[in-house]
Amino acid sequence: MRTVLYAAVAVVTLTSNSFAQEDCLPVLKSDIVDLSHETETNLVLLERRLQEDESQNSGGLVASYGAFKFNADQARQARSSISSLLNIDYSQKEKTNVYISTFSDNEVTAYIACLRERSDPISHNFVGDILSRDAFFVSINWHPNYTPEGAEQTLVAKVTEGVILESGKISYETKIKDKKSAFFTVKRDRFKGTQIAVSIDGKTELIDVPPKARYRVVPSELEGPRRATNTRETTGDIGWDVCVTLPPEDIDQAIVPNTFDFQFYKSQVGNVRLVTNNPRRETSRSACSHLGIIFNEVWSSYAIVDVAGKIQTFKRIDVTKEESPRPGAAISLTQMPQ
């Protein structure tokens, strides 16, 4: 289907200018990006936020996941881990369209006005979410930098991996006037990527809409192996590195940055100092820190310690299995095969 779509629009002029489009995108607001809901969309927003912070050197907290807050470095690790778990690898055009789908009415107006000034004859935006539902609304805006022949032009839209509800087919035609907009609705299997080609007066706009991930991420916790000591009347630091490591075969989890902690099952000491604030060493797969058990003097000193490391994790769950209908249950339209 994708080959046919390209062939159908090969005779017209492509108008999409990625540089002009990027220049017209509004700067992301400096709110903390919450990765615990609308995760795919917020991963895109977080990437833009990190790029803007890097150029502006603003620093500070930039993202969260539930009660956990992340600075820029931790947010990069969290974004990488979650993207990998969700198998997300969006193209730049797909990321841009996800970002456009989050615009407020005022941002849409300013964005279209900016593109019009840069002589882009066609632009698009979306009315609401484009990832979570099987159907989404597309607004096509016609603002040519020349005087077209006739008061109206024919808009032709074609879609892959879906249908246009207004026609019930993969193609749709309607009329559009200069400086006006036309709307249509695309229905698709949201777990498949979709491409829309729109042609007006020999000019074409290509719109790439990414798939929704087949997984979602939930919080979980993992504890490492326990280790104990029962030591009396010695000197120095007898502590050890406490670690939590995801086994290689566990591909459904990744470590939440900056969540390593000690889990004490016994902690009885005399003339001994426990040091739990040593630096943490973390990757997406492991986290360690040195537990200091420092004997201050030999006489009457003892340490009875039983400890493990614990870490919070991102854990993925297959949403397609969660949404499978029960045997004998009615199948909704969103569950019908495409």
Model confidence pLDDT, tens digit, residues 12-41: 344 445 556 778 888 877 789 999 999 999
Residue type, 268: Q
- Specify the pLDDT at position 21: 73
- In DSSP notation, 60-101 reads SEEEEETTEEEEHHHHHHHHHHHHHHTT----HHHHHHHHHT
Instruction: Using alpha carbons only, give the angle 6, 10, 11 rounded to the nearest 5 degrees.
Output: 155
Pairwise CA distance, residues 314 & 253, whole Å? 5
| Contact residues for 141 (Cβ-Cβ < 8 A; gap 6+) | 112, 122, 123, 124, 125, 180, 181
Tens of pLDDT, residue by residue over 232-273, are 999 999 999 999 999 999 999 999 999 999 999 999 999 999
55 versus 173: the higher-pLDDT residue is: 173
Query: What's the DSSP call for residue 135?
Result: E
The rounded distance, in Å, linking the Cα atoms of 84 and 30 is: 25
**pLDDT > 80? residue 55:** no
- Size (the chain), residues: 338
- Asked if residue 334 has pLDDT above 60, the reply is no
Which pLDDT score is estimated for 53? 74
Band (pLDDT 50/70/90 cuts) for residue 46 is very high
225: Cβ–Cβ under 8 A, 6 or more apart, which residues? 308
The pLDDT value given to residue 15:
47
Greater pLDDT, 31 or 81: 81
Residue 325 predicted with pLDDT over 80: no
The yes-or-no verdict on residue 196 having pLDDT over 60 is yes
β-sheet bridge partners, residue 311: 222
Percent residues over pLDDT 70 in the chain: 88
Q: Mention every residue, 6+ apart, whose C-beta is less than 8 A from residue 193.
A: 94, 161, 208, 209, 210, 211
Q: Quick check: 327 pLDDT over 50?
A: no
Residue 97: half-sphere exposure toward Cβ, Cα within 13 Å: 27
Per the DSSP assignment, residues forming a β-bridge with 209 are: 194
Judge whether residue 9 has pLDDT over 70.
Answer: no
Query: pLDDT category, 332, cuts 50, 70, 90?
Result: very low
Please report how many Cα atoms fall inside a 13 Å half-sphere around the Cα of residue 143, on the Cβ side. 18
Highest mean pLDDT among 22-31, 51-60, 320-329: 22-31
Would you call 103 exposed, middle or buried from its count of C-beta atoms within 10 A (0-12, 13-18, 19+)?
Answer: middle
* Digit-coded pLDDT (tens) for 92-130: 999 999 999 999 999 999 999 998 888 789 999 998 889
